[in-house]
Amino acid sequence: MGSLKRKSSWSSKTLAKSKKRKGPHLPNSILKMIATHKRPLNSDDNEIDSDVDLYEYEEGIPEEESRKNNRYGRLDNYEFKLPDDFEDEDVESEDDEDGLNSEYDGDDDRHTRMLQVLTGMPSAAFNSENKSKPLLFTEPYPEGEFNPTRDVLSGKNILTEEDFLAPLEEYHKTSKQISRMRKDTYKSLVHPPLPKPDRERLERKAARGLVDEEFSKWVHLVKRNREAPTVYFNQEVVNLGKSTVGAIASEFQPRTEFEMRMASVLNDNEVSEAHREDGARLLELNQASSVIYFIPCRLHDVSMEDHIKDYNHIAKMRSLLFNHERKSKQIKKIKSKLYHRLKNKDLRNSVLGALMDPEMAKEEAMKQEARRVEERMTFKHKNRGKWAKRMVRRGLNVKYNGTGEAITEQLQINAELSRKINSLRDGSSSDEEELSDGSDQDTPYKLLAKAKEKTLRALEDDEVCNSGLMSLPFMVRAMKKKNEEANEEAKRAVEEYEEWENSGGAVKPKKTISVSGRRVFGAIEAPKESKKDSDNFYDNNSDSDIDDNDLEGVRDTASPARRNTGTTTETEVTRDEGGEDSESEAEQMVDGIFEVPSQAELINRAFAGDDVVGEFEKEKQEVLNQEVPEPEKPVLLPGWGQPWPTNKRGYHQIKTTRKEEDAQRKREEALKTRKDFRLKHVIISEKVDKKAEKLHTTTPPFPFTSKEVFEHSMRMPIGPEFNPSTVVGDLNRPEVVKKTGVIIKPVKFEEVNPNEEVDDEHPRNHQKPRLNKKTSRRQSKVK
Amino acid sequence: MEVALEDNNLMEKVLPPDEQEIDVELEAKEKKYLRGEGANLESLKDKKLKTQLASREKLYGKSAKAAAKIEKWLLPASAGYLETEGLEKTWRIKQTDIAKEVDLLSSKNQYDIVLPDFGPYKLDFTASGRHMLAGGRKGHLALVDMMNMNLIKEIHVRETVRDVAFLHNDQFFAAAQKKYSYIYARDGTELHCLKEHGPVARLRFLKNHFLLASVNKIGQLHYQDVTYGDMVASIRTGKGRTDVMEVNPHNGVVALGHSGGTVTMWKPTSQAPLVQMQCHPGPVSSVAFHPNGHLMATSGKERKVKIWDLRKFEEVQTIHGFHAKTLSFSQKGLLAAGTGSFVQVLGDSSGGGGGYSRYMSHSMVKGYQVEKVMFRPYEDVLGIGHSMGWSSVLIPGSGEPNFDSWVANPFETSKQRREKEVHLLLDKLPPETIMLDPSKIGAMRPSRRKERPTRGEIEAEKEVAIEAAKSVEMKKKTKGRNKPSKRTKKKKEMVENAKKTFPELEHSNIAGKKRRIGEDAAAELPASLKRFARKN
């Protein structure tokens, strides 16, 4: 019973194992078979198992071994114990063998039979197999293609070619083939394949070698092309065909019947002769030819279908025309007044209508003119209209921007119109001139009279606006005050005018101009100026209003240029004085017993007055300060940053002075780098000229990386003005020489000598020597 | 004595050609045409660039070699010279002596034209030397073809003429008259009245830039573009009246000499002078530039003529005891100086510009006052305008023997002239290309010190920073953290941060201003009262 029990447990175990192991997939049929041929054996046992509740006693782990809570020392487990699942692989357990044998003895026959049925092979084949090889199941699953045995996996019992060849040898002992095969097998043992990355690396390496070899032969060619100053692509001259219309036309061959006929006429000598000489003859010929050529052409070519088509077309057109006419007639008949009014209006409004009908145009012009006149007459554009007045009165123009703008716009239009009118009038009568024109012809009398009149008028009509803001009491008061002032001024002005008039315009006003910033030199200039003043007095004043009495503007416009001349003349004067002094000295010396000083000394004395060098130094200092400004000194209120009682250098001060020193040092360095640092007598401006900045580059252009190399490469001009004509072409040849229309073919391999020097004079394609027109002329051209 | 004028190499002793000598000579010339050394290509890492530059350099070398060979062998004429033997001195040789030696054509260039009525004459030559313009102080303008001594046009403007100048060719010339300056055509028609220039003292034309530069009586410098008539610049020099003005032919910089002994150099794009040099203790009476632009000669009223090297702005040579009312350099570098009725020509024996010494001298009839000396281009001729007309003397070795028809052609036909005019206009340089070193055009911008930004700049920068901070797109965060309040707070913070970077600068600026005002007031007070000075 015990053995049975064990068996059953084993079989179930194996089944479970075989199911659990997913790795080797056995075909379903085999699995089924395995299941069926085991089932009958174990069916009884299973029944028993199911009937009787049996269980094995499982001994619990003794407390000493469980090592719970480390209650027991470690040392007590001395005896060697194999792990639970230990199984000696090589030594088969006797129990197993016994069981299996007993099991298989019974169903061997059945099995062979079944196999026989399934495969259709004689049972001997299976039997012999069974007999020759004692069954050994060391593996938990059957051996197969996909389930290598343990030996194979561990590499012990590798299947070699020898194994396959051995049985063959018995039959064909003398076969050469086999011996050769054997040799081969000894030579090449099959090794397992390399890991993938290694394999790929090797592949790449091999490929690289090949590719390198392939490419390296191009290196020289590429290098040559790259280094060549010019690459030529017009090696083979390709015929591009005709390019002009004339050339294409000359090749024309008449092909169709029509073309042939045309050609025959065109090339007819008779016709051309007639064309050249006799017009009448040509006409004749023309008629004749039309008779000859075109009538038959008609007769022959036009088919009945075409004729019908033509006819239909014409009929259609006619009907369309008729419909259109009818429609227009209908429109004329429309009696609706509204319709016609609108229509006429449209016509009138459109410029086209006006253009079409001269009467209408005239009428239109009249109307326009009338409108214009009306506009002028009614002063529509002054703010005297009903609307404008109301707006102004209510102060709405101030309140709302839109209204204000509208009013100002009106006023603007008014101003424009009035200007137009004035200009028209000026054209007709030049007598009337406005005061503001201030022409030279105006006599002072007239001017005075006008001015007086104006001021009087101003005096009279000082009416105050009583509405809106102006009605407010304080505004009224202010206005009054202003008016009074103005009146007083006006009165004074009037008095003045009267005075002038009485004196006959000869009385000059007091010369209020006191030129403060200028000195007047020489006795000639002053009277000149006064004379000028008397001449042009009225002119000058007419520019600014006479009422204004403001002459300061005139005073202020002393031009800086004039001031400049003033100073220069001054220096000259002083110099002259100096010269006189020395002269007088010299005279004295001559008079006395003094010896005459040397020329150099005399010159020194002559220029002793002006310290030119000192001035220049000062100027230089100024320029330097301007271009390299002095560092700013710190801002400190007295007392701040200084502890009291004041020691010489407060904490705060020390800090700032250091900064200051830094700035000062920087400035000195900047001054040292200037070109004029060592040259006392020279100031070289280092201001940046922004306009000239565009003539320089900020960075060297692409292939260049260093400034020095770039600038050296730029030193030689390459133009024809600077180089002999023999070299100009080489110097200016473009990088690529190519004829338009030539297709650039890919580079072809050719052997290139790497040591060969690029010869620019003889390009590779042996061009024809180009004819340079300038060559002869500029033979001697050098610069 | 040996005299040779250009085109006249009969007297030249031809040595048997020594190969080595020729090589040396050619090498020297080649060096000149190479315009300096090439860059050191070894330092370059970019191989492609390296090879490209190397091939370029090779081409340059080829070009220089070809140019040197052309100069050596193909140029048709050689420069003239004056050689003396034994105790003879070149400056003792008179024009009459020279006249005997030279060919007929050259001897035609010695003449005096006496025009006593219209006062001291100013002269100007066209670039080719074919035409001369003479302007008498009292209003006489004459245009002369120097090749055949043909008076093309003569007009009287009936007012003072202070200076005359040709424009780009003989077709137009400008005259500075009493009140305004005018531009006339070749036939004497008045084309323009240049009122904006004011009463002009000196007129000069900048050929490459097509600018007419003038300095007027009140010391204003004007540049007017003659192609489209725009006033390019009007500059107040602030140095007073001057009538000393010259153009540096190398770079187009205008030099003015002032009464304070300074020479200032100007360009139209800046209101401040490029360079100010204290050249003399007294007034500067004239200035001249060597054609290569490196040398400047100035003369002062203190009887000194100084030669300056403009590359270093240093004095190279002082010639004592010699005052020049007018100075002029020839194409070959001879310096003519005229005072009173005496004209002296100095030659550079050293070649570097430092050794100017007497070469020739010419004295006119006593009483003639030299107004202007000017060498005629491409000829060994010196034109002298004086109070009694003008004269022409021979100075061997002064002119460039070979003219370049691309630059200036004395034998120009009218068709060529027209074409040239168009070319000149196409090649016209904009006014900003006038600078001290025009070879720097196209080069890297010179590094400049960081200038302190102005208040306005700082403010603008600040505004930009604030705007940038405001316009930053906020990331959309998860539900709880995307509250509008938080977002606005964050944004405000960002703006604040942006602002924070600026206040310091602002404060310092304001403080600086305050201090300046306070300081002025405090400076006047005695020390004890300084603390009470009002700070505003």
Nearest to B49 among A568, A606, A704 (CB): A704
More confident residue, A545 or A6: A6
Q: Is A678 on the interface with B (CB under 8 A)?
A: no
Give residues 548 to 567 of A whose Cβ lies within 8 Å of B: 560-562, 564-565, 567
Q: Is B45 on the interface with A (CB under 8 A)?
A: yes
More confident residue, B46 or A419: B46
DSSP of B329-368: E-TTS-EEEEETTEEEEEEESSSSSS-EEEEEEEE-STT-
Q: Sort out which chain B residues have CB atoms less than 8 A from A619's CB and list them.
A: 276
How close A769 gets to chain B, by Cα (Å)?
19
Q: Which residues contact B385 (CB under 8 A, 6 or more apart)?
A: B120, B121, B122, B123, B134, B370, B371, B372, B373, B374
More confident residue, A557 or B314: B314
Q: Which of A69-78, A635-644, A705-714, B55-64 holds the top average pLDDT?
A: B55-64
Query: Is residue A508 predicted with pLDDT exceeding 60?
Result: no
Query: Is residue A46 predicted with pLDDT exceeding 70?
Result: no
CB–CB contacts below 8 A, A to B = 222
Nearest to B272 among A673, A687, A708 (CB): A687
Question: Above pLDDT 70, what percent of chain A?
Answer: 49
Secondary structure letter of residue B531 according to DSSP: G
Distances (CA, A) of A652 to A331, A661, B403, B527: 104, 14, 74, 21
- Rounded CA gap, A58 and B503, in Å? 90
Query: Is residue A266 predicted with pLDDT exceeding 60?
Result: yes
Q: Sort out which chain B residues have CB atoms less than 8 A from A706's CB and list them.
A: 43-44
Which chain B residue has its CA at the smallest distance from A611's CA? Answer: B281
Q: Which residues contact A513 (CB under 8 A, 6 or more apart)?
A: A551, A554, A555
B353, B290 contact by CB (below 8 A): yes
Q: Is A350 on the interface with B (CB under 8 A)?
A: no
Q: Which residues contact A91 (CB under 8 A, 6 or more apart)?
A: none
What the block records as the tokens of B43 is 């330092």
Nearest to A727 among B46, B59, B444 (CB): B59
Interface test with A, best of B445, B514, B528, B534 (most A CBs within 10 A): B445
Q: Sort out which chain B residues have CB atoms less than 8 A from A621's CB and list them.
A: none
Question: Above pLDDT 90, what percent of chain A?
Answer: 6
Per-residue pLDDT at B250: 93
Per-residue pLDDT at A297: 46
- Are B443 and A615 an interchain contact pair (Cβ–Cβ within 8 Å)? no
Interface test with A, best of B218, B256, B263, B318 (most A CBs within 10 A): B218
What the block records as the tokens of B498 is 């942006």
Q: Is B105 on the interface with A (CB under 8 A)?
A: no
Which chain B residue has its CA at the smallest distance from A781's CA? Answer: B404
Q: Which of A181-195, A297-311, B212-226 has the lowest mean pLDDT?
A: A181-195
Q: Sort out which chain A residues have CB atoms less than 8 A from B411's CB and list them.
A: none
Per-residue pLDDT at A522: 42
More confident residue, A500 or A426: A500
CA–chain centroid gap for B28, Å, is 27
Rounded to the nearest 10 degrees, the angle between the axes of helix B47-69 and helix A219-227 is: 50
User: Residues A466-504: pLDDT tens digits?
Assistant: 555 666 777 778 888 888 888 888 888 888 877 776 765
- Rounded CA gap, A672 and B155, in Å? 57
Mean pLDDT of chain A: 67
Q: Is B504 on the interface with A (CB under 8 A)?
A: no
Mean local confidence (pLDDT), A158-163: 70
Interface test with A, best of B42, B47, B62 (most A CBs within 10 A): B62
- Rounded CA gap, B477 and B496, in Å? 22
Per-residue pLDDT at A767: 38
Q: State the pLDDT confidence band at A593, using cuts at 50, 70 and 90.
A: low
Per-residue pLDDT at B466: 87
- Are A610 and B260 an interchain contact pair (Cβ–Cβ within 8 Å)? yes
Mean local confidence (pLDDT), A45-59: 52
- Are B52 and A571 an interchain contact pair (Cβ–Cβ within 8 Å)? no
- Are A682 and B275 an interchain contact pair (Cβ–Cβ within 8 Å)? yes
What the block records as the tokens of B255 is 């030099």
Q: Is B279 on the interface with A (CB under 8 A)?
A: yes
Task: Pick the closest to residue B331 from B385, B391, B401 (CA basis).
Answer: B401
How close A654 gets to chain B, by Cα (Å)?
18
CA–chain centroid gap for B286, Å, is 14
Q: Sort out which chain A residues have CB atoms less than 8 A from B508's CB and list them.
A: 632
Q: Which of A703-712, A746-755, B12-21, B477-486 has the lowest mean pLDDT?
A: B12-21
- Rounded CA gap, B369 and B388, in Å? 8
Per-residue pLDDT at B525: 76
- Are B275 and A685 an interchain contact pair (Cβ–Cβ within 8 Å)? yes
B380, B370 contact by CB (below 8 A): no
Q: Which of A416-430, A447-461, A482-496, A547-561 has the lowest mean pLDDT?
A: A547-561
Query: Is residue A139 predicted with pLDDT exceeding 80?
Result: no
Per-residue pLDDT at A507: 42
Nearest to B240 among A568, A680, A723 (CB): A568
How many C-beta neighbours within 10 Å does residue B128 have? 23
How far does chain A reach from its first CA to its final CA, in angstroms? 128
Per-residue pLDDT at A548: 41
How close A271 gets to chain B, by Cα (Å)?
48
DSSP of A724-772: -HHHHHHHH--SEE--TTPPPPPPPP----TTPPP-SSS-TT-PPPP--
How close B233 gets to chain A, by Cα (Å)?
13
SS3 letters for A607-618?
A: CCCCCHHHHHHH
Query: Is residue A103 predicted with pLDDT exceeding 90?
Result: no
Distances (CA, A) of A50 to A37, A46, A53: 20, 6, 7
> pLDDT 10s digit of each residue in chain B, 536 long?
566 665 544 344 445 556 777 888 888 889 989 888 888 888 888 888 888 899 899 999 999 999 999 988 888 888 888 888 888 888 999 999 899 889 998 899 999 999 999 989 999 999 999 999 999 999 999 999 999 999 999 999 999 999 999 999 999 999 999 999 999 999 999 999 999 999 999 999 999 999 999 999 999 999 999 999 999 999 999 999 999 999 999 999 999 999 989 999 999 999 999 999 999 988 999 999 999 999 999 999 888 999 999 999 999 999 988 889 999 999 999 999 999 999 999 998 877 777 899 999 999 998 899 999 999 999 999 999 999 999 999 999 999 999 988 889 999 999 999 999 999 999 999 999 999 999 889 888 877 655 566 777 788 888 888 888 888 888 888 887 788 888 888 889 988 888 887 766 545 555 555 555 555 666 677 778 877 777 65
Per-residue pLDDT at A579: 40
Task: Pick the closest to residue A780 from B401, B255, B179 (CA basis).
Answer: B401
Per-residue pLDDT at A521: 45
